[in-house]
């Protein structure tokens, strides 16, 4: 009766959360391209940069820490 328990690393879930947050922020950044906010540095488009960066980091974490069959 030996059961194989596979532990999913917490970093996999961190990657999923980073990816989802990145997509949400990236989506708001895409929306802000056509509807720019009334802020001083809006022309730098920080939501596009940070959303893309979070999504890329999330994909890296998901790839590195994905559950594997031993």
Q: Per the domain annotation, does 1 fall within a domain?
A: no
Residue ranges making up the domain that contains 23? 10-64
Task: Tell me the pLDDT tens digit for each residue of 35-51.
Answer: 999 999 999 999 999 99
Residues, the chain:
70
Domain presence at residue 3: no
Q: Is 51 within 8 Å of 18 (Cβ atoms)?
A: no
Instruction: Tell me if 69 is assigned to some domain.
Output: no
Task: Read off the pLDDT of residues 6-39 as tens digits, 9 standing for 90 and up.
Answer: 788 999 999 999 999 999 999 999 999 999 999 9
Both tokens assigned to 38: 């009334």
Tell me which residue of 7, 1, 11, 10 sits closest to 69, measured CA to CA: 7
Q: Which of 17, 20, 49 is nearest to 32 (CA)?
A: 49
Query: Does residue 27 lie in a domain region?
Result: yes
Q: How many domains does the chain have?
A: 1
In a domain, 70, yes or no: no
């Amino acid at each position: 009766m030996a059961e194989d328990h596979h532990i999913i690393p917490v970093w996999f879930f961190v990657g999923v959360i980073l990816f989802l947050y990145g997509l949400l922020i990236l989506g708001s950044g895409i929306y802000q391209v056509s509807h720019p906010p009334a802020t001083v540095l809006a022309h730098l488009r920080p939501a596009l940069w940070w959303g893309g960066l979070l999504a890329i980091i999330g994909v890296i974490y998901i790839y590195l820490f994905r559950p594997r069959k031993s």
